[in-house]
Amino acid sequence: MKETIGFIGLGTMGGPMARCLLAAGHGVDGFDVDPAKVSAFAEAGGKACADVAEACARASVVITMLPRDEHVREVLLGSGGVAAHARPGTLVLEMSTILPRSSLAIGEELRRRGLRMMDAPVGRTPADARAGKLLVMAGGAAEDFERARPLFDAMADKVLHLGEAGSGIRMKVINNYMAMVGMVLTAETLTLARKAGIATAAAVEVLQNTVAGRGQINVNFPKKVLAGDLTPDFPLSLGHKDLSLGLQLGHELGAPLFLGASALELFGMAPAFGRADQDCTAMLLILEQLAGCLGEGAGL
Return residues touching ligand NAD (CB under 6 A): 8-14, 31-34, 37, 65-67, 71, 74-75, 96-97, 122, 125-126
Cβ proximity to ligand NAD: between 13 and 156 the closer is 13
- Residue 2 among the catalytic residues: no
Nearest residue (beta carbon) to ligand NAD = 11
How far apart are CB 165 and ligand NAD at their closest, in Å? Answer: 18
Cβ proximity to ligand NAD: between 82 and 243 the closer is 82
How far apart are CB 25 and ligand NAD at their closest, in Å? Answer: 23
How far apart are CB 79 and ligand NAD at their closest, in Å? Answer: 12
Cβ proximity to ligand NAD: between 81 and 260 the closer is 81
- Catalytic-role residue among 158, 172, 224, 241: 172
Cβ proximity to ligand NAD: between 97 and 189 the closer is 97
Cβ proximity to ligand NAD: between 74 and 157 the closer is 74
How far apart are CB 38 and ligand NAD at their closest, in Å? Answer: 9
CB atoms within 10 A of CB 77: 16
How far apart are CB 279 and ligand NAD at their closest, in Å? Answer: 33
Residue 18 identity: A
Burial 281-300 (b: 16+ CB within 10 A, else e): bbbbbbebeeeeeeeeeeee
Active-site residue list: 172
